[in-house]
Chains A and B, each alone.
Chain A
Amino acid sequence: MHFAELRRRLGARVVVVRIGEAPPISVCVEGAPPWVGSQANGTVSLALSEQDLRELLRGELALEDGVLSDRINLKGGVDHLLAFFDAVIAWLHGALRSPSLPLLQDRYLARPAGASDVTAAPRGARSC
C-alpha cells in the first residue's frame, strides 16, 4: 500500500541521490525492477553528507531544517519537489510499519562512517 502510494506520487520521475563523495544513485520506480540505477541526472536531485544522513535517521535532524540550512541540497522543479516529498512521506509511513526497519536502521548506523556500501548500484541497474 505504501509502496504503491510512493510509485503513484513519483510516477516516472528520476531521483538522484548523492551521499558525501560517493557516486550517485538514481531511483525510478516506474515499471518493473530494478528501480535503482547509477544515473547522474534526474528530475530531482538530493545531496547530503553521510553525517547528516545519520542524523536524519536518528531523528536528530528534520527534513525541513536540513533543507533550510542547506545541509540537505534539494534541486528540482517545485511540482517535482512536492511530489518527491509526498512520496518520501508515504514511504516513511510504510517503513515505520515494517518489522525489519529497526534492524536495518541499526545495521546502517552501526557501520563506521564512510564504510557504507550505498556507493554502488546493484547489478542489473537500468535507466528510467
Chain B
Amino acid sequence: MHFCVRLPGAPAGYLLVNVNVTERRLPTGVERRPRLIVLAHDSEWTGGLQTFEVEDSWGPPGNVAFRLGPTRVQWRDGAFELTLRTTALCADLRLVPCMPPTVPTSVSFHPGSAIHWVVVPRLEATGWVTREGNRPQRLDRAPAYHDHNWGVFRWGEDLAWEWGFVNPSDPVCPWTVAFVRISDGSRHRTLSQGALLWHEDALVRTFQDREIRVRLDGTHGGSRPLTVPKIASLLLPGASAGVPARATVEANGRDDWLRVDFETAAKARIALPSDANPFKLVSLNEACGRARVSGRQGARRFDFEGTSLMEFVRG
C-alpha cells in the first residue's frame, strides 16, 4: 500500500509511505513480515524502514485499515486518516480521494505468480508532517496519490517494473495521469503496460500494451542516494542506482494520444532482500521530479506541468 503526498516548498518534494506484508512458506510454517517504509524529500532525503512483529501489527483481510506499532491508517467519513509515527518522520494526515478507485487490474508473469493493482491517483491531503529535528509542515489539500497492490511473487525473481504518476501544479487542472510497465528482470520483454488518464473524477482513457512506448534516457547522477535500511547501502555502494535522467511515456490509439516527459530531480532507494537469491538485493528506486504531460482524449486537448514520482524496480 502506497501513499505519496506532495510536500510544500521544494520543487519536487514528496512524502512516501509504503506498507507491505511479505509471506513466506517455510518448513517451520508461514512467516509474515510486516514492513513500514517512509521516505521524504524536500531539500534532502530522510527516511527509514521498520519491520514489525505480527503481534504488533493489525490488518484484517479485505479492509484498508491497518496498524503497525504506533502507525495506523483507517477509513473514516470518506477519507483515509494516516497517523505516522517513526523516528525520522511523523505525520497526521487526512487524505480525501478525488475519484473512485480503479477496478483491480492483474498481471500474471508465470503460472502461480501474479500482481494486482488498484489505484486512486489523486487525493487531497490536509494535516501536518514533521521531519526529525524540524518544525511541523502544515499541509492544506496537498496533492497525493494512493495505490494498493498485492499478489503472489518473489522479490528478485525475473521481474522488473516502472510506475509513476503526475500531480498537476495547477490544483484546478482536471487531468491526472498514472502509468506502469511490468517486464522481465532484464527489461527485454514487456509483460504488461498501461497509461491511465482521468478527467475530473472519471477514468476517461486507458492505453494498454502495444499502444504504449516507454523510453528511459541517461543516468541520474549526483551523490549516493539515501538507502533504507541504511546498512544496506554497504551492499549498494554506487551512486547511479539505475535511475534514468529522463523517462518518456508515449501512448497512441484511436485518435487519442498521451505523452509524459519526466525528468529526475532526486532519488532514494529501498533495498529488500531477494527471495530468489539469498546473496542479492532488490532495489526499489524512488525518483521524484518534474513532468510535462500533453495529449488529446476525444475532443479535449491537454498540456500541463506537475510534480511526479516514479519507481524503478531492479534486481
| B273 pairs with A62, CB closer than 8 A | no
| B229 pairs with A93, CB closer than 8 A | no
| A63 pairs with B229, CB closer than 8 A | no
Band of interface residues on B? 20 to 34
For A94, list chain B residues within 8 Å (CB). 278
For B278, list chain A residues within 8 Å (CB). 1-2, 93-94, 97
A90 to B235, CA, bound (A): 10
Q: Closest Cβ of chain B: how far from A108's Cβ, in Å?
A: 11
Whether B296 is near chain A, meaning CB under 8 Å from some CB there, is: no
Band of interface residues on A? 20 to 34
For A93, list chain B residues within 8 Å (CB). 235, 273, 278-281
Q: Is the interface of B mostly helix, strand, loop or mixed?
A: mixed
| B50 pairs with A102, CB closer than 8 A | yes
Stretch in A39-47, A53-61, A117-125 with 4+ CB within 8 Å of B: A53-61
A89 to B278, CA, bound (A): 11
Q: Which of B51, B234, B280, B281 contacts A56 (CB 8 A)?
A: B234
Q: Which of A12-68 contact B (CB under 8 A)?
A: 56-60, 62-65
Q: Which of A89-109 contact B (CB under 8 A)?
A: 89-90, 92-97, 99, 101-102, 105
A5 to B280, CA, bound (A): 14
Q: Is the interface of A mostly helix, strand, loop or mixed?
A: helix
Residue of B nearest to A1 (CB): B278
| B237 pairs with A64, CB closer than 8 A | yes
Interface mask (B233-248 → A, CB under 8 Å = 1, otherwise 0): 1110100000000000
Of B33, B50, B233, most buried by chain A (CB within 10 Å of CB) is B233
Whether B224 is near chain A, meaning CB under 8 Å from some CB there, is: yes
- Assuming the A-B contacts A63-B237, A97-B273, A102-B50, are A90 and B231 also in contact, with contact meaning beta carbons closer than 8 angstroms in the complex? no
Interface mask (B15-48 → A, CB under 8 Å = 1, otherwise 0): 0000000000000000001000000000000000
For B280, list chain A residues within 8 Å (CB). 93
Q: Closest Cβ of chain A: how far from B184's Cβ, in Å?
A: 23
A sample of 11 inter-chain contacts (CB < 8 A) reads: A2-B279, A58-B230, A59-B230, A62-B234, A62-B237, A63-B234, A64-B237, A65-B237, A92-B234, A93-B273, A93-B278
- The residues of B with any CB-CB pair to A shorter than 8 Å are 33, 50-51, 224, 226-227, 229-235, 237, 271, 273, 278-281
